[in-house]
Amino acid sequence: MKKKRSFKIAGKLIGGLILLLGILFVVGKLFLDPYRGTIRTWSSSPSKPLDYLLSSEEAREDISFLMNKLKERHPAFLDGIPKAVQEQYDKEMDGINGEISVLHLWQASARILSKLKDGHTNIGYQTKEPYRLPLNFHYEDGVLSCMDDSFQEFTVSKINGLSWENLYQTYKEQFSYELESYALYRFAQKLPYKTFLAFIGLDPSNPITLTILTEKGEEEVTYSFALEEISDQESDDIPFVSYTIDQEKSLGIFTLLSCDNTPYYRDTVKQFFTEVKENDIQYIAVDLRDNPGGNSSVADEFIRYLNIEKYYITGGCDIRYGPFLKKYSKSITKNKQIEDLVFKGKTYVLTSTQTFSSAMMFATILSDNQIGEIIGEIPGNMPSSYGDILYFQTPNAKLDFTVSYKYFRRIDDSKLNLPLIPDYEVDANNAIHQLYEIIHQKET
């Protein structure tokens, strides 16, 4: 009898434990899991047309939805809404009187997010029919230029009669960024797109007129929009990771266009260091100039082949779990080296303004751990910054937006509030030339 009673008690205890674990799991999923209620990535479901009219109730619901996600997930909102964000939110909500277009809602939401100055928390418009001008724009040293399909380059002063500087000011009020250089880069990059021109206040329903500077003075040229077509074949033709070996200069250049820690990436890293060893290469460079980020673990995989036993990944990290903020202090990582392929030469990193997020982190890890030297431009965001994004979509306008749920601190405590300043600060287009100059000086 006692044995049966013991079995019953044990069964009840186990059952109670299972029930408790189940409750904790459900509570975690409902209130603590950062990914609760998120969408996978930028939605395949397009946003409503820009001129689609929302009722004031629908518009307010969308802005409230965005604000609630910030309050639930973003570390900066744990102790309340930041003052600048709250003021902008109140202003935008007060400005909704009657129907409002999706375009105006997009602009209003963007102005709220811009007050965060978090380069990873933004809102965007998704369309399956991206119309663009047959132009590419570029900003450098105070000058906005564009190149057409015939590779003619012009200096631009106005777009539809408005100075590009004024349009840029409008953009800055609607874009969450950390560094001015990155805001200018993104402004120029997006200028060809029809939806973006509407976003910064232009009417793209007709062809766009540019005022350009020529030897004879100002001239006006007009361009029409065309549907952008990017086939899967075209994107597949450009590998996201590749390398070259210059035996004469004893240099290997490893180019990474996105931070994707795939089997292909890992195989390519191994092949690169295998050839580096076979050719007795003395210098290597990681080219991150066109890399917008992705998975930061690509850095760990690369470092396995470098002559360093321990290193820091970050200077610490804060992670938001529902109403809690878990603080992780700076901790050292033991390098799991590939012993037969360890490179003992000199390492460099090439960067540009486009080097962003995990690519910026890759460069910072090599720099702050004194593993490699940086050549090029200051990357697009700060080493001490918010990151790791969650994806959401507003219920009515179907605008996609991202929210950071982590805060990363820079490894080098003495540079917590500084961007990643290169050891050799040069125009990104001249980074390769500078790399060869450095090697030449070391060899002579």
Which domain CATH number covers 173? 2.30.42.10
Position 50 in a domain: yes
CATH code assigned at 330: 3.90.226.10
Query: Which tokens hold the place of 438?
Result: 């450095």
Position 26 in a domain: no
Position 267 in a domain: yes
Mark whether 177 and 145 lie in a shared domain: yes
Written as tens digits, the pLDDT of the chain (444 aa) is 555 566 566 555 665 555 555 554 444 555 799 999 998 777 668 999 999 999 999 999 999 999 999 999 999 999 999 999 999 999 999 999 999 999 999 999 999 999 999 999 999 999 988 999 999 999 999 999 999 988 889 999 999 999 999 999 999 999 999 999 999 999 999 999 999 999 999 999 999 999 999 888 899 999 999 998 765 544 556 799 999 999 999 999 999 999 999 999 999 999 999 999 999 999 999 999 999 999 999 999 999 999 999 999 999 999 999 999 999 999 999 999 999 999 999 999 999 999 999 999 999 999 999 999 999 999 999 999 999 999 999 999 999 999 999 999 999 999 999 999 999 999 999 999 999 999 999 887
Mark whether 357 and 377 lie in a shared domain: yes
Rounded Cα distance, 220 and 237, in Å: 37
Check: CB of residue 326 under 8 Å from CB of residue 319: yes
Mark whether 327 and 429 lie in a shared domain: yes
Query: Which tokens hold the place of 339?
Result: 């012993």
Mark whether 293 and 396 lie in a shared domain: no
Tell me the residue range of the domain where 292 lies: 239-383+419-443
Check: CB of residue 137 under 8 Å from CB of residue 129: no
Work out the number of other CB atoms within 10 angstroms of the CB of residue 241: 20
Position 15 in a domain: no
Mark whether 306 and 435 lie in a shared domain: yes
Mark whether 254 and 162 lie in a shared domain: no
Q: Which helix (H) or strand (E) holds 137?
A: strand 135-140
Check: CB of residue 387 under 8 Å from CB of residue 406: yes
Mark whether 370 and 265 lie in a shared domain: yes
Rounded Cα distance, 145 and 137, in Å: 6
Mark whether 220 and 262 lie in a shared domain: no
Query: Which tokens hold the place of 395?
Result: 């219920």
Mark whether 142 and 280 lie in a shared domain: no
Mark whether 184 and 246 lie in a shared domain: no
Rounded Cα distance, 312 and 412, in Å: 9
Rounded Cα distance, 20 and 28, in Å: 12
Position 6 in a domain: no
Provide the number of structural domains found in the chain. Answer: 3
Closest CA to 302 of 340, 275, 342, 360: 342
Would you call 255 helix, strand, or coil by DSSP? strand
CA 300 to chain CA centroid, Å, is 19
Mark whether 189 and 254 lie in a shared domain: no
Phi and psi at 155, nearest 5°, equal: -90, 130
